[in-house]
C-alpha cells in the first residue's frame, strides 16, 4: 500500500448493472409497468434468444414503447428495485483504495445515472463512471430513443469498451506497470467483457457462473458485493506479494493475460494455433462467433 492507503498498482473495476449491482433489470421494470407490458416484453426476449431478431432491434422496440416523461419512471423504480446489500460498502472501499469503479451496461446511461443518484445520492454516484448507450428522450416522454455506442447488433460492444479502459489505465499507470482489470457480472451477455478481465467475478447460481463452470473459465463466485470486497482485498495482498517475489500467484484469468500478449493474429502462440479448441478460438477471435444462446428459453438474457 502507498502512504495514503491506496493500492500500489493501478486497479480498474468494471461491473454489469442489471442483475449485478441491482437484483432486477431496470429496463424490464420500466417496460413491464410503463411500456409494452410484461407479456410483450417476454415475447420480445424470446425473439432475441431464438435469433429471430437482434438485441439492438428488440431493445429499440422496448424503449420505444415508453410514453412517459423521464422523471415519471422512477417512482416505480424505487418500489421495485433492490440494490445489492454489499454494494455501497464495496464502492466506498474502492474510493478509499483508489480503485476506479465503472458501470458497463447495454442499458441507457440517463436511466442508470438516475437510478444510482436515487439509491446512492448524487455525491457518491458521481464517483461512478457509466459506460453505456446514450439516449434521446423527449421532455413530454413521447419518444425514448437509444443512441448506441457501437454499430453492432448488441449496440454496445462491452469487450471493446473494456479494452479501451485497459488502454487508458495503462496510459495513466506508472511506467512499466500493468494495470489490473476486474469484471463483475451475472449473465452470459457479460462474456464479451468478462474475457477481457484479469479477474472475473460471477454471481453465484446464474448463467455466467454456469457457463464458466461448463467451459472451465477461471472465475470467483459471489453472493453479494461484500464477498467481492473480501476477495479484492485478498487479491491486492496476493498481487503485492507476487510483485515482491513471495507468496502464491494472484488469481488472474490466463485467457486475459494471453489476450494482452497478443497484438495480432500472427502473434498467436504456436501451441494455440496448432490445436485450438473452440473455446480458445472464441476468446482469440470473438468476432467470428455468434453470442452464446442458452437452449432453455427461460434462461437469463440480461444485458
pLDDT band at 251 (very low <50, low <70, confident <90, very high): low
Structural domain contains residue 209: yes
Residues above pLDDT 70, as percent of the chain: 77
pLDDT tens sequence across 116-161? 999 999 999 999 999 999 999 999 999 999 999 998 888 899 999 9
Residue 202 belongs to a domain: yes
pLDDT recorded at residue 272: 37
Residue 153 within a domain: yes
Q: Per residue in 36-94, pLDDT tens?
A: 999 999 999 999 889 999 999 999 999 999 999 999 888 899 999 999 999 999 999 99
Reduce the DSSP state of residue 103 to 3 states and report it: strand
Kind and range of the H or E run holding 147: strand 144-147
pLDDT of residue 95: 95
Residue 143 near residue 137, CB atoms below 8 Å: yes
How confident is residue 297, by pLDDT bands cut at 50, 70 and 90?
very low
Choosing from 18, 45, 186, 198, the catalytic residue is: 18
Q: Is 223 a catalytic residue?
A: no
**Mean pLDDT throughout 211-228?**
93
For 175-194, how does the pLDDT look when each residue is reduced to its tens digit (9 = 90+)?
Answer: 777 889 999 999 877 888 88
Please pick, among 16, 25, 32, 190, the residue that the annotation labels catalytic: 16
Does residue 148 belong to any structural domain of this protein?
Answer: yes
| Number of domains present in the structure of the chain | 1
Residue 294 lies in a domain: no
Residue 49 within a domain = no
Question: Which range has the top average pLDDT, 67-76, 240-249, 289-298?
Answer: 67-76
pTM (predicted TM-score): 0.79
Give the list of residues 6+ apart from residue 39 with CB closer than 8 angstroms, or none.
none
Q: How far apart are CA 99 and CA 162, in angstroms?
A: 15
Q: Residue 182 belongs to a domain with what CATH number? A: 3.40.50.1000
Domain assignment present for residue 53? The answer is no
Does 57 fall in a domain? no
pLDDT tier, 10 (very low <50, low <70, confident <90, very high otherwise): confident
Quick check: is 16 catalytic? yes
Domain span at residue 250 reads 8-24+84-265+272-288
Cell 421495485: give the residue. 80
Under a CB-based contact definition with an 8 Å cutoff, are residues 26 and 110 in contact?
Answer: no
Amino acid at each position: 500500500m502507498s502512504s495514503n492507503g491506496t493500492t500500489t498498482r493501478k486497479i480498474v473495476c468494471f461491473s454489469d448493472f442489471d442483475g449485478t449491482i441491482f437484483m432486477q433489470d431496470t429496463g424490464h421494470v420500466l417496460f413491464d409497468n410503463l411500456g409494452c407490458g410484461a407479456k410483450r416484453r417476454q415475447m420480445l426476449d424470446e425473439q432475441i434468444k431464438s435469433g429471430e431478431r437482434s438485441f439492438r432491434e428488440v431493445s429499440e422496440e422496448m424503449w420505444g414503447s415508453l410514453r412517459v416523461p423521464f422523471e415519471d419512471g422512477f417512482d416505480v423504480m424505487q418500489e421495485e428495485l433492490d440494490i445489492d446489500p454489499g454494494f455501497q460498502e464495496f464502492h466506498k472501499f474502492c474510493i478509499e483504495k483508489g480503485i476506479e469503479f465503472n458501470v458497463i451496461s447495454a442499458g441507457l446511461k440517463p436511466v442508470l445515472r438516475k437510478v444510482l443518484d436515487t439509491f446512492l445520492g448524487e455525491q457518491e454516484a458521481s464517483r461512478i463512471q457509466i459506460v453505456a448507450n446514450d439516449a434521446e428522450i423527449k421532455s413530454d416522454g413521447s419518444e425514448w430513443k437509444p443512441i448506441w455506442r457501437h454499430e453492432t447488433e448488441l449496440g454496445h460492444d462491452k469487450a471493446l469498451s473494456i479494452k479501451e479502459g485497459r488502454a487508458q489505465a495503462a496510459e495513466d499507470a506508472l511506467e512499466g506497470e500493468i494495470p489490473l482489470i476486474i469484471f463483475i457480472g451475472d449473465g452470459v451477455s457479460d462474456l464479451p467483457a468478462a474475457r477481457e478481465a484479469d479477474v472475473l467475478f460471477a454471481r453465484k447460481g446464474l448463467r455466467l457462473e454456469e457457463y464458466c463452470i461448463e467451459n472451465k473459465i477461471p472465475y470467483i463466485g459471489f453472493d453479494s458485493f461484500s464477498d467481492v470486497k473480501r476477495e479484492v482485498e485478498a487479491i491486492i495482498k496476493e498481487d503485492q506479494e507476487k510483485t515482491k517475489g513471495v507468496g502464491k500467484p494472484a488469481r488472474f484469468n490466463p485467457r486475459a493475460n494471453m489476450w494482452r500478449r497478443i497484438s495480432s493474429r500472427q502473434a498467436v502462440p504456436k501451441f494455440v494455433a496448432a490445436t485450438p479448441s473452440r473455446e480458445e478460438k472464441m476468446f482469440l477471435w470473438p468476432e467470428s462467433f455468434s453470442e452464446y444462446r442458452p437452449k432453455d428459453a427461460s434462461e437469463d438474457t440480461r444485458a
